[in-house]
Amino acid sequence: MSLSSSKQDIFTTIGAYTSLKQERKLPDQTNLYSSVNNKKDIVPFLLDILKTVVGTEALKQLTGQLFTDFIDSVEPKMKSSLTKQMTQYNSGAELPTAFQSTGAGYTMPLKNIDTFGKFKSSPTSEHGSLLYDTSVANFDTAMYSAILTGNATYNGLRIGYNSATDAVTFKSAVASPSIGQWMGNYINGAVIIDKKSFLTNTMNAVYGSVSKAQGKSVQQTYEELQILKLIEQLINDDDSFEISQADYDELLEKAQELVNGVVYYDMGCGVIGATLPLSGMTDLIRQISGSTDSTFVADKVDNTVDESTIKTPITAAANKQTIRDGFFQRLIKAITLALAQAMTASPQIRALLAIQSAIQNNGVVKIGNAKDDMKNFKVFLNCMIKDIMRMINEFIFNLVVLFLISLLNPIIRKIVKEKINQYVGIIKALIS
């Protein structure tokens, strides 16, 4: 049996059990879901199962859990994965003289690590306050401090900034016996997943509220989306690093939407424009960034659908279910992409890749344009993304199992009850 046939059987079986539970006729086999023929990315298939079993509420619940239970527990696993990828053949060698605290350090243009222009926004601005978590020490706040003052130290790393050349210099701030020891200590002590900026990047990918406030041009946003598209292709096990013309056209259209801060919901027979103002985004991130209650977070995120369509309430009400279906599926995809982005293209990860490349190439920093670098760091990117997808798939799969058990329990009880009644009837007939 082919993979697509096996997937069809799963949806047919779920439909059969649901029909039995609701005393309806059994369904015909269906090829309605596009995930049936998707042989690489398992997430859409799992989401379709959730939607088939429970409906949109399951996708909403999953979103809340990904924003809380999953992201709150993923940090140690990400550090382990990152340490594994950063452990190179020369890890036991002495820390290079240039990278030691008394050395010249490794210098590179700031733009080479700030792929998405984060450091052009001040943490004190309204939109900038969403991009930085100033409540804890982390790489991004240290980097911005260095931009303001010229120097900063974070987690054993000394950061220097030259405003005249717009260049950043990295070197060790502590003594370390070996390359591997320094790298291991840094990763272990670092904040790898900044939850606040992660939530902001995810929600901004859907609404574009921050992109609009940053004043980015369509071209800037277009180039950023190309990088995210390549990451998405890696998630789908495509490492060709080639973008089709159709995808380029779609990315350009999306870039315009994000810069304008307007997104469009497909209702099957038309689209509806939606806008979440920066104040709405700020209020949302403020409420959910520190919450561990998945239901609370899911409800707050769900409320943005109504808030963003408030200017078209009649149309929105008539098509709300269709809108919410598309919204949560789009959002879960954005969560996956934002996590992959954080672990492969964030300023901190780019800085570590730059340092590692310089250590391996006698002080020459092998990092430049992010799109070109993806080919050069192909092995690292592939391995990190595989680890990320393994964690996400496992998390979603476990939730699917719970819902399937909830579906099957009443069915099993009903079948057992019918069998018992049948056997009792037979026994009574034999006794009489």
Whether 286 shows a pLDDT value over 60: the answer reads: yes
Contact criterion met (CB below 8 Å) for 71 and 142: no
pLDDT confidence of 29, banded at 50, 70, 90?
Answer: very low
Task: Write down the pLDDT at residue 27.
Answer: 46
| For residues 321-344, average pLDDT | 89
Task: Write down the pLDDT at residue 37.
Answer: 53
CB environment 106-137: b (16+ within 10 A), e (fewer): bbbebbbbbbbebbebebeeebbbbbbbeeee
Report yes or no on whether pTM surpasses 0.95.
no
Task: Write down the pLDDT at residue 177.
Answer: 87
Reported as a single tens digit per residue, the pLDDT across 106-141 is 999 999 999 999 999 999 999 999 999 999 999 999
Reported as a single tens digit per residue, the pLDDT across 188-223 is 999 999 999 999 999 999 999 999 999 999 999 999
Reported as a single tens digit per residue, the pLDDT across 409-423 is 776 677 767 777 776
Encoded tokens for 333: 């995809």
Burial of 425 per CB tally in 10 Å (0-12, 13-18, 19+): exposed
pLDDT confidence of 4, banded at 50, 70, 90?
Answer: low
Q: What rounded mean pLDDT belongs to the chain?
A: 86
| For residues 300-310, average pLDDT | 90
| For residues 302-307, average pLDDT | 91
DSSP code, position 99:
G
Tokens 């879901």, residue located: 33
Burial of 215 per CB tally in 10 Å (0-12, 13-18, 19+): exposed
Contact criterion met (CB below 8 Å) for 62 and 53: no
User: Hey, which residues does 263 pair with through a beta bridge?
Assistant: 274
DSSP code, position 163:
T
CA proximity to 258, closest of 229, 302, 217, 230: 217
Least confident interval from 144-148, 351-355, 422-426: 422-426
